[in-house]
Chains A and B, each alone.
Chain A
Amino acid sequence: MFIEVNDIKKSYGEGGSYVQVLKGVSTGIQKGQICAILGPSGSGKSTLLNTIGGLDTIDSGSIKINDIEISKLNPKESSLYRRNLLGFIFQFYNLVPNLTVKENIQVCEYLTKTPLDINELMEILGLSEHQKKFPSQLSGGQQQRCAIARALIKNPELLLCDEPTGALDYQASREILMLIEKINKKYGTTMLIVTHNTAIKEMVHRVIKIKDGQISQDYANTVLKPASQLEW
């Protein structure tokens, strides 16, 4: 298994404000697969994704990526793990405001020795004409595409997406999904996609449903529907 999650528990707060967000989640995902994480709001999807990405700590259990226990990494090792292995697409893009589109992508290009071709990537994502613009001059979808380009430029082995299409319209969402599909095919990138869009579950290899901090459903699709054919 590329990703092995074993009985992880995670809580926030103390005393009155104590909430257990993850109540013992275990699963495994194979290399090169796209996995969708679905569930109601507040069920703990983002939390799960963030712990896998080493952005958040866990109370107990273990998370292994490529046989490396990432929940035990110190901050420095953790950031090296992210640097070498991960790409992140945040729900709220988090672009650097005073850098242009291209520069925002270059910021992550810098992190690897083997980046993808930046112009090709911008072309694929339809950002070429916007490359000199600042984030504040972009629409939400364009910002999201920029964030995706930034995550992909270093050709990560694992791509973590938190609602990549959450802020986008139907057309834009479908384009992004097609892109994700394309990247996965081309580079064999393993992907975890947190989403509310149930249509997505038809195009991915794995579907994990979370309810109230626990996995309520976990299955693999045998037949995948191309993203271009999704409708919702």
Chain B
Amino acid sequence: MILNKRIIRELKDNWVRYGALAFLIIFSLALVVSMAGSTDVVNYTIDKNNEKNRLEDGEFSVYVPLTENQQQQLEKLGARTEAAFYVDLPGPEKSILRIFKNRNNINTIELEAGRLADQTGEIVLEKHYAENHRIDVGESMIVNHKSYLVTGIATVPDYSNVVQNVSDVLADLTQFSLGFVSEAEFNQLLAEDLNVEYNYSYKLDGNLTASELKEKLIDLDFDKNRVANKYMQEIINTIEKGKNDLSGGVNELADGTQKLANGTSSLEQGSSELAAGAGSLANGTDQLSSGLEELTSANVTLNKAADDVFQGMIAQVNSEFEKMGITVTVTGDNYGTVIDRLIKTIGESDANAVMALNTMKAQLDSYKAFKEGLSAYTNGVESAYSGSLELSAGADGLYQGSLAVASGVNTLRNGSAELNSGMGELKNQVTNFIDQNMDYQYVNLITFLEADDNQRITSCKSDAAINKNSALIAGVIILTLIAYMISVFVIHTIDKESAVIGALYSMGYVKKELLRHFMILPTVIVTAASMLGTGLGFLLIGENIKENVAYYSYPGYTIVFPPYLLIYGILLPILIALFVNYMVINNKLSMAPLKLLRREKKQHPLTNIDLKEMGFINRYRIRQLLREIRGNITLFCGLSIAILLMVFGFSIYGSVSAYVNNVASDVAYNYLYLLKYPMETAPGDATKAYTESLTADLYLTGGEMDVTVQGIDDENPYFDFSLAGEKNDVVISDSVANKFGYKVGDEITLSDNLEDRNYNFRVKEVVNFASGLYIFMDINNMRELFGKEDDYYNTLMSDQELSIEAGRIATVITVDKMVAAARQMFTMMYGLVITILGASVLLFAIVMYLLVKMMIDKSTFSISLIKVFGYNEREIKKLYLGTTFYTVALSTIIAIPVSKMIINKIFPYMVSNVSAGMNATMSPQSDLIMVAIILGAYAAVNFMVGRHLKKISLVEILKERE
């Protein structure tokens, strides 16, 4: 079609406009695609690697290695396990290398270079470590005073975040990493080093769940004597001793009773042969005395043990009451009345509770009876003993008292028989009691960690997720902007072509032909630009994930082209262009051709407003503004979207940097030690605290997130808020408040998933504490709540480093490390933040330029006209650009606060995977900077459009008619 010849010329004549639009599309799409694509590439690479190298479903560690038999047993149940024992050995430059043997089935080694170590004296290194220490394949290195030949460089899927402890916040890829040696080499190491972690990886085949596996592991038998960990051995010894004491007492008691029975029966014999055998009586009384003596000596232990048990039951009842929310305290003496009163108060209203209370009372009663029986019995033994002494002493007056003796012996015999038969019962009961209540079943399992909870495995992907969220939000804003700009552009272009379309239409061109013709240029531009932009985006992915690749340990990435990105990047803009073109042209062609020829437009009623009172320039300006009301609304909307993007850019920048700063300023201690095995006496210069990890529901994601509950006392020097209040009052950090949306006065529920228990708290106060997700409560209330002794602690805070045996420590958190971790997160986001920020500024300028230029283009005719009338440039600029200033100012005033509101709403979703509660903050300077940017962009655009105004020729008016 000959008409299409005009397309190239149209493009040439308006290349700035088309170029700006194309640039806008290319730039925006490159941004969106590279940001979103980066995450996909990371995720894809990791997923693929995890599958290829058979990532574990989880891992666990034990005190004593599983036997072959046990492993087979587990496999039969549906859990395949593989030993991943390790030792941490000193490597070069004070680094620590965690040495594993080669893996066969789970978490297999992905070689990046070289080969696996298959001889002794060979080692394969984790890739970042090798890189940081500049060690290549073929070189040798010293680990623990022994020289190794490096045969390969590799990664493993279970250590993509190479941290020493699972709870470490930050990996230091020079200080700590992994090495893999042959099985033979590893066995040699085991022989010399005792500090082995018996770690296992597992994979489930679907017949067994992780918690079932955990149950199985807890139940597995093992040889207690082989526990190598000395702290655990200490605990075992203490418990065993207590158990032995109690059962020893009972055994003594039984022995004594047996002797008593023997004595009694001898006594009986003796008394029946009273006359004949005074000597045998004397014998009998002796035996009796010694039996009773033995018996008496066991009395104290026995009574004490029984009383302890009873007090334990009372304590149990009290804690049960507390759980039920009943605020009474029972003692051994008052429980009967108290429970009766409770039953009366509850009455018929809760039959279950009454039943429970009754059962509780009956149990206490029966045990009390048992206890009292025991005490009566021991009293009996005591008096029998003193009686027997008397008996012995009175042997001389035997004859006189023989009648009394006979009857006394008879009674004694009866009592003794009863006692003996009762004894068996007692012994059974005590043994049962020990079995059931004092059965410290030693569990071999030390840790159990599912892959989903293992930040060595998950943190790379969840890190990428924030970036993805930001990318998607920025992407949505940018795509909206593009869609908007394409629409405005198309509408404007078609408007300008109105007369041509009208002429062609009146000459008999049909709609289809015109549609086709006028859609070619915008479609081609948008298609080319979106393809270029998307292509460029994919090329930029490498740059985007540089930080991620440098920090996490995973194999080289492969670029993937996710279909949704191709749809968003290429198809969507084209469809928008096609659709808008179609709608606009179609709408145009539904007008009578004559109207098109005359460029008739619907005049806004406001256009006719009476402005008599005003000065001419103002009047003209306002008329121009009203006449261009559509153009100005268009400008307003476009700028608002661009400002939204800018506010988003400033917000993530502001929030992340505020987070880093707050972490440093909120934490007052320098060292925080979480202890696995707290020592009996804590170092004097440290402050004790009690820390538990619970989970809270996160409504944002519908999932859960770990929070740390920390019990501190009011004297704690590192916190300046008071914890006094009700038992379940807690003080939460602003981080927690932001993340979970808690407010002062809220009742919150946290759960302990391992124990399957819920705890309720009431929020008393919100305090500034940026690092992590902390909830603080009074340490005594917390001990009580979690059933710990009055002086329990597991956390030490200190200004200086403490000398604590390494084996006791679970984690050490230093403020430096926390800040470094926050910085690391910042670094990882930095590129993205800067990109979004820069892009938003640039996009803002382009959008403003395009929109203002379009408005001026529309007025070319009248500008030419008033030039002819003799207006000078300054006046013309005032007339035609003055109006845009009001619009720019208005968009700034309205869009900035509105955008902030929108971003504040979106932001929590963006950081929903981060276990820190950031909210969207912008420094006050940011507002100024944004206004400056807007004004700057306005000035630049003003200048450029001003130059264009100058170029509008006087003869424009002679050639065309409006």
Contact = CB atoms under 8 A, between A and B. Distances in A.
A82 B507 contact: yes
14 contacts: A57-B592, A76-B510, A76-B511, A82-B508, A87-B507, A88-B506, A92-B961, A94-B502, A96-B3, A98-B13, A99-B9, A108-B508, A111-B507, A111-B508
Contacts of B961: 92
Nearest to A105: B2
Contacts of B5: 99, 103
Contact of B6 (A76, A82, A96): A96
Contact of A55 (B509, B589, B590, B594): B594
A135 B503 CA distance: 14
A57 B593 CA distance: 10
A106 interface: yes
The 6 lowest CB-CB distance pairs between A and B, nearest first, are A83-B508, A94-B503, A82-B508, A106-B2, A98-B9, A55-B594
Contacts of B13: 98
B894 interface: no
B959 interface: yes
A156 to B, nearest CB: 9
A2 interface: no
Interface residues of B, number: 29
A96 B506 contact: no
A56 B511 contact: no
A208 to B, nearest CB: 21
B625 interface: no
A108 B3 contact: no
B3 A83 contact: no
Nearest to B499: A94
B507 A150 contact: yes
Contacts of A96: 3, 6, 500, 503-504
A90 B503 CA distance: 9
B314 interface: no
B2 A55 contact: no
B552 interface: no
A79 B594 CA distance: 12
Interface in B1-60: 1-3, 5-6, 9-10, 13
B426 interface: no
Contacts of B507: 82-83, 86-88, 107-108, 111, 150-151
Interface string A210-224: 000000000000000
A124 interface: no
A136 interface: yes
B610 to A, nearest CB: 16
A181 interface: no
B443 interface: no
Most buried by A among B507, B511, B589: B507
A110 B511 CA distance: 15
B650 interface: no
B597 interface: yes
A110 B1 contact: yes
B28 to A, nearest CB: 29
Nearest to B508: A83
A53 interface: yes
B505 interface: yes
A154 B961 CA distance: 27
Nearest to A108: B507
B597 A94 contact: yes
Interface string B587-617: 0011011100100000000000000000000
Interface string B502-524: 11111111110000000000000
A111 B13 CA distance: 27
Nearest to A53: B506
A40 interface: no
A53 B507 CA distance: 10
A53 B10 CA distance: 30
A11 interface: no
B594 A109 contact: no
Contacts of B508: 79-84, 86, 108, 111, 154
Contacts of A136: 959
Contacts of B593: 54-55, 79
Interface string A91-131: 01011111100010011111100000000000000000000
Given A98-B6, A98-B9, A106-B2, A80 B597 contact: no
A132 to B, nearest CB: 12
Interface string A41-60: 00000000010011111000
A75 interface: yes
Nearest to A104: B2
Interface string B922-962: 00000000000000000000000000000000000001110
Contacts of A111: 507-509
Given A79-B508, A88-B507, A98-B13, A50 B6 contact: no
B3 A107 contact: yes
Most buried by B among A79, A88, A97, A108: A79
B5 to A, nearest CB: 6
B511 A75 contact: yes
A86 B910 CA distance: 63
A220 to B, nearest CB: 29
A99 B5 CA distance: 7
